[in-house]
Structure 1
Amino acid sequence: MTRLVELSHRITEGMITYPGVPGPRLGVHLSREDSREVYAPGTEFHIGSVELVANTGTYLDTPYHRYPQGPDLAGMPLESLADLPGLVVRAEGAPSVGLDRLAGLDVRGRAVLLHTGWDRHFGTEAYFHGHPYLEPEAARWLAERGPALVGIDSLNIDDTPPRGERPAHTLLLAAGIPIVEHMTGLAALPGSGFRLHAAPPLLAGLGTFPVRAYAVVDG
């Protein structure tokens, strides 16, 4: 018996994911009423429209986000984004995730999800200030050990001073390891024994995009 666990935030009109990034605009390209003029009597459809910045909601960062020669969304193999064996690193209440949380873990080929509990603030002003992040030394340790993907349920995987160097992005994406930020629901996952799916649309020329991330939990 398996169960599915939702790991993405819902995208709604005007929601703010990151300070300075405009919220999405959800509209209608063809209303049901107008479609009645296009289709046969008794047949109607709704076709919506979406305008959003790629860094909205729970989203995937590919190497192209940081490096112009790195693979973009369309260049990422499914093997890096779907049906990945998962591992949760517990750091709820900690100001950052350091090497002490990772020591001794077998991360190679796994989706390593950093559970900080910060998702409880999503949608509030508190979410934008003092968020947990992955320490540079821990990011380097991960980049050297080849996880398939690294995710976090926080505002950013890096500390976010105004002009920061973003070492976690720099190290992980240079190693070809995609990142999923603004995750949620990690508290509902076991430490291991689940498979992660976090594939975006097959878009060329973009480095980031929202994903419907979810886990399939065994037993």
Structure 2
Amino acid sequence: MIVELSHRVVEGMTTFPGIPGPKLGVHLSREDSRAMYAPGTEFHIGVITLAANTGTYVDTPFHRYAGGDDLSQVPLSKLADLPGLVVRAAGQRVVSLDRTLDVRGRAVLIHTGWDRHFGTDAYAYGHPHLAPESAAWLAGQGPALVGIDSLNIDDTPPQGERPAHSLLLRAGIPIVEHLTGLEALPDDGFRFHAAPPLVAGLGTFPVRAYAVVP
């Protein structure tokens, strides 16, 4: 079974307050293409303009650190076909992890249920996030990737501190934010995938996150 874990990207959507929504356009319309191809043959080539932090996306170390690995440098071994682990944290605004968990080499996905608010004003306020001390513990335990179904893995106060981003990305651990559908997964025994395009010079980009459940 394949379980979808990504939000659909649509024109004008809001992912994070203040980040512009995507715009869709047309480079070659079906109508115009008819003059270029044999009768009965037509094509559509679209254009999309979007901020890299749109929908469900991955943060790589370059997002936080100028010398960190960008989208083209993070190996697929940290993004695809990962053994998954779901941490159930519904009802917790500040998520603390059980330090007896075996997280090494795994995709650790934090299920808060906050994705139910995606696309509404409520999504941006009072969202669940990872406790800094749990982020520090994770950074030392060697997970392949950490994800959350919330606005941000960090709290988003005006002063802009981001301890989970700083600790995890410094340790070379990608972060996937704005996941959805984690309630459909078992706690473990599945494989997780969230690979972005191989773009040099970018630290974040939307992904088609999904899980394969035997």
Provide the secondary structure at the position in 1 that maps to 2:167.
Answer: helix
Match of 1:66? 64
Match of 1:181? 177
Name the amino acid aligned to 1:167. P
Please give the alpha-carbon distance, in whole angstroms, between the structure 2 residues aligned to 1:97 and 1:177. 18
Q: Specify which of 52, 55, 61 is matched with residue 54 of structure 1.
A: 52
Matches within 5 A, 1:105-184: 105-184=101-180
The runs of 5 or more residues in structure 1 that have no matched partner are: none
RMSD, aligned CA: 0.6
Match of 1:102? 98
Per-residue deviation, residues 165-213 of structure 1 (Å, max 9, x unmatched): 1000000000000000000000000000000000000000000000000
Q: Specify which of 13, 16, 19 is matched with residue 15 of structure 1.
A: 13
Matched, 1:212 2:204: no
Provide the secondary structure at the position in 1 that maps to 2:213.
Answer: strand
Moved over 4 A (4+): none
Identity of aligned residues (%): 75
Provide the secondary structure at the position in 2 that maps to 1:48.
Answer: strand
Please give the alpha-carbon distance, in whole angstroms, between the structure 1 residues aligned to 2:123 and 2:98. 25
Please give the alpha-carbon distance, in whole angstroms, between the structure 2 residues aligned to 1:8 and 1:215. 10
Paired residue total: 214
Provide the secondary structure at the position in 2 that maps to 1:139.
Answer: helix
Name the amino acid aligned to 1:144. G
Match of 1:80? 78
Name the amino acid aligned to 2:161. E
The runs of 5 or more residues in structure 2 that have no matched partner are: none
Per-residue deviation, residues 120-175 of structure 1 (Å, max 9, x unmatched): 00000000100000010000000000000000000000000012210000000000
Q: Specify which of 186, 193, 198 is matched with residue 190 of structure 1.
A: 186
Matched, 1:34 2:32: yes
Please give the alpha-carbon distance, in whole angstroms, between the structure 2 residues aligned to 1:26 and 1:215. 28
Please give the alpha-carbon distance, in whole angstroms, between the structure 2 residues aligned to 1:41 and 1:146. 57
Provide the secondary structure at the position in 2 that maps to 1:85.
Answer: strand
Provide the secondary structure at the position in 1 that maps to 2:94.
Answer: coil
Per-residue deviation, residues 14-70 of structure 1 (Å, max 9, x unmatched): 000000000000111111001001111111001111000000000000000000111
Provide the secondary structure at the position in 1 that maps to 2:155.
Answer: coil
Provide the secondary structure at the position in 1 that maps to 2:138.
Answer: helix
